[in-house]
């Protein structure tokens, strides 16, 4: 019973949508990007939605 409760209340946390964006130029990136293809910056913002 407690395991079911934990699964129910943590599933949304694992699958919460996230937006990735270059901190320098604002280009939208993917979770796999480590640098911005537009400006070359490696500063990537991870924004939970």
Q: Which residue has the higher pLDDT, 40 or 2?
A: 40
* pLDDT at position 3: 63
Query: Domain segments of the chain: what residues?
Result: 2-48
Q: Strand order of the sheet with strand 28-29?
A: 28-29, 18-22, 44-48
* pLDDT at position 30: 97
pTM for this prediction: 0.66
CA distance linking residue 20 with residue 2, whole number of Å = 34
* pLDDT at position 28: 98
State pLDDT tens for residues 3-27.
666 666 666 556 679 999 999 999 9
């Amino acid at each position: 019973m407690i395991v079911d409760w934990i699964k129910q209340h943590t599933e949304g946390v694992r699958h919460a949508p996230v937006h990735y964006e270059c901190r320098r130029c604002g280009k939208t990136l993917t979770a796999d990007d480590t640098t911005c293809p537009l400006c070359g910056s490696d500063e990537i913002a991870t924004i939970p939605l």
